[in-house]
Amino acid sequence: MTYRYFIRLAFRGTGFHGWQVQLNGKSVQAEMIHALSTLLKEKTEVVGAGRTDTGVHAHKFFAHFDSSKQGLSGNRDLIYNLNGILPKDIVVHEIKAVKALAHARFSAISRTYSYHIHQVKDSFLDGFSAYFPGNLDLEKMNRAAELLLETTDFTSFSKGKTDVKTNICHVMLAEWIRDEHRLIFTIKADRFLRNMVRAIVGTLLDVGYDRLCLSELKRIIERKDRSAAGASVPACGLYLEDVEYPEDVFL
C-alpha cells in the first residue's frame, strides 16, 4: 500500500533551470527526488504544482509524492533531514497527508504570482527584482491591469507551441502597488499559461511608460497573437506566492 503526501517548499530560482527535471541543467525537482529517495530509502517520484522558468523564485510551492511509509505527515525529523540534504536555496516547510487522488498540479484551484521591480539601482536586489528606471504611471498600469479581469483568452500572453488544450484563464486579482522605489505586481488566477505573467508585466510596463494606451491593449488581447504584446520581463523578478487547494484533498 502507498500513501500520498503534499510537501510545501520554497526556493530561490537563481541557480536552477526551473522546477522541471532537465537533461543538461540543475532543477528543483531533481534535488527533491534525490533528497526524498535518499531519506525514505525507496525511489520516490515528485510531481510539482507546475513548471517554473529558469530563474523564477517560489515563496510557496507544492509537490506531491507517494511512499510506502505511513505517518510522514508533520514529521519534523524528516523535514529537518530533508533540509540538511537539500541545497541552501531550497527549503521544505511542511509535509501533509492527502487523499490518494490528490494532485499537486491538477487539484489546485488557484495560483498567485508577484512580480518585483526596483526603480533605483540597488545591489541588494540584483537577482531578486528587475531594474526598470524612469517614470512609470502606476494609476494607468492599474487601469490596464483591470482589463485582465474581463479577459478570458490569454493567447496574446502565452508562449507558442505549448501542450495545453486551451488558453482560457480566469484572473481574480491583478494590481500594482508602490513601496518606496519598488513596484510589486500581484496576479491571481485559476491557471496560468507558460510565460504568461512575464508577458503581461512587460505589456503593462509599456502602458506605464506611455508607449501603449488602454485601447491598444484591448486590441492586443483581441488579436490573440503573442507577437503583438510586450516583451517578457526578466525571470529574476517573478515569484510564485501561493497555490490554493480545496480543503477536502487533505486528510
pLDDT tens-digit profile of 93-116? 999 999 999 999 999 999 999 999
The verdict on 135 and 235 lying in the same domain is yes
Give residue 164's pLDDT.
78
Residues 94 and 40 in one domain: yes
Domain boundaries, position 114: 110-241
| Among candidate residues 107, 131, 160, the one where a domain is terminated | 107
- What gap in Å lies between CA 17 and CA 28, rounded to an integer? 8
Same domain, 102 and 220: no
Looking at residue 168, what is its pLDDT? 96
Residues 189 and 86 in one domain: no
* 216/228 Cα distance (integer angstroms): 10
Is residue 248 situated within a structural domain? Answer: no
> What's the pLDDT tens digit per position in 7-33?
999 999 999 999 999 888 899 999 999
Active-site amino acid positions: 53
Distance of alpha carbon 200 from alpha carbon 186, whole angstroms: 11
The secondary structure of the chain as a DSSP string is --EEEEEEEEE-GGGSS-SS--SSS--HHHHHHHHHHHHHTS---EEESS---TT-EEEEEEEEEEES-S--TT-HHHHHHHHHHS-TTEEEEEEEEE-TT--TTTT--EEEEEEEEESS--TTTBTTBEE--S---HHHHHHHHHHHHT--B-GGGS-SS-S-S--B--EEEEEEEEETTEEEEEEEES---TTHHHHHHHHHHHHHTTSS-HHHHHHHHHHT-GGGSPPPPPGGGEEEEEEE--GGGB-
Q: Are residues 194 and 135 in the same domain?
A: yes
- Asked whether the beta carbons of 208 and 142 are under 8 A apart, the reply is no
Residues 26, 130 within the same domain: no
Name residues of the chain where pLDDT drops below 50: none
pLDDT reported for residue 74: 93
pTM of the model: 0.95
Residue 23 exposure: Cα atoms within 13 Å on the Cβ side: 0
Number of domains the chain contains: 2
CATH code of the domain covering residue 32? 3.30.70.580
Q: Are residues 146 and 46 in the same domain?
A: no
